[in-house]
Amino acid sequence: MDKEEYKELVKRRERRSPSPKNCLRAFWTGGLICVIGQLLTELFLTLGMSEKSASTTTTVALIFAAALLTGIGIFDRIARYAGAGTLVPVTGFANSVVSPAIDTKSEGLILGVGAKIFTVAGPVLLYATLSGAVYGVIYYIVSLFL
């Protein structure tokens, strides 16, 4: 069997992805997470917090909830259903930190959890920090001339 025959065989046998269904699931699940976040923010505002404090507390609450749900195995089931809908909000970041820690806990706290906890989230943190620093330098230089 040559390359062309193989490509044709693969094309005939591959399962079509239900893209519209997956997009709809991701959209409504990600939207629901954001609605929960907005409701939490409104609750914290009602309790007398400033807008900044309410937003920060909401972020912390969503991160905690996602980490807890990841730890007890529920977040993975939600992610299997919703796909990218769980990745877009801050909950996806929490899951990307907790999952490697859970997967490597049998290797110990230092060489397992400590070494692998930021495997997925590490590059995000690195490049977010780097781009923030670059933006800060550019902003500082531009502000000197304005």
Out of 70-74, 83-87, 90-94, 112-116, the most confident range is 70-74
Residue whose tokens read 């706290």: 109
Residue whose tokens read 């909950």: 91
SS3 108: coil
What pLDDT is recorded for position 143? 94
Rg (CA), the chain: 21
Q: What is the pTM of this model?
A: 0.67
**Tokens matching residue 30:** 């990600």
Structure confidence at residue 65 as a pLDDT band (50, 70, 90)? very high
Q: Is the pLDDT of residue 92 over 90?
A: no
Q: Is the pLDDT of residue 89 over 70?
A: no
